[in-house]
Amino acid sequence: MTRTDGGPGEAPPVALRTEALEQLLTERGLIDPKVMNEIITTYETNVGPLNGAKVVARAWTDPEYRRRLLRDGTAAIGELGFSGPQGEHIVVVENSATTHHVVVCTLCSCYPWPVLGLPPSWYKDPAYRARVVKEPRTVLSEMGLELDDDVRITVHDSTSEVRWLVLPERPAGTEHLSEEQLVPLVTREAMVGVAKVAAP
């Protein structure tokens, strides 16, 4: 069997199959394209990692909120108005100088959409899902995060019942920054645990 991926300007086979599937589901009345577009737009532009960054910045500047966040992530995140599908039960874990948390979904790509938006392609990649559990330090190093040998790494496996969010360490030198100024520093990668937040 010969498989071609098409030339310049042609849609790749995956895109064509996705379009054909969407058309079939639409014709059978199983999905509404307008609703699907609204969902995609919401998670790509309105939700995204910005919500999670606001949660982190609040926790960095408000010790009482941080305590609530670590005790009941779902409720504390809901205080900021972030909830919905894929966010019904979120557990928050905190990185420190001696402990580093990283998140994976070994079965599929369960992910806290209300605070992180759509999962990135690397999170869904079978290689990441398989290897980060067995050799987390190596995988993190390959992704650009070098951790000292004495830092304990804990890998958390997200499921349809429980999704995880990492509260990254606040970078040194940001003590003078306000909550609003801290938000742009926080990345999706830091909230999954494959990176640290860099100082401005």
Which sequence positions are flagged as catalytic?
Answer: 105, 108-110
Q: Give the closest residue to 52 by CA, choosing from 103, 96, 99, 127.
A: 103
Compute how many other C-beta atoms are within 10 angstroms of the C-beta atom of residue 135.
12
CA distance to 78, 89, 91, 118, 128, per residue, from 75 (Å):
5, 9, 10, 21, 30
Helix or strand holding residue 132 (H, E):
helix 126-134
For helices 13-27 and 33-41, the axis angle rounded to 10 degrees is: 130
Taking CB atoms within 8 Å and a gap of at least 24, the contacts of 78-81 are 80/51, 80/54, 80/55
Contact criterion met (CB below 8 Å) for 183 and 57: yes
List, in sequence order, every residue forming a beta bridge with 90; answer none if it has no partner.
163
CA distance to 22, 72, 79, 151, 165, per residue, from 171 (Å):
44, 24, 25, 17, 18
- Helix, strand and coil content of the chain, in percent to the nearest 5, comes to 50, 10, 40
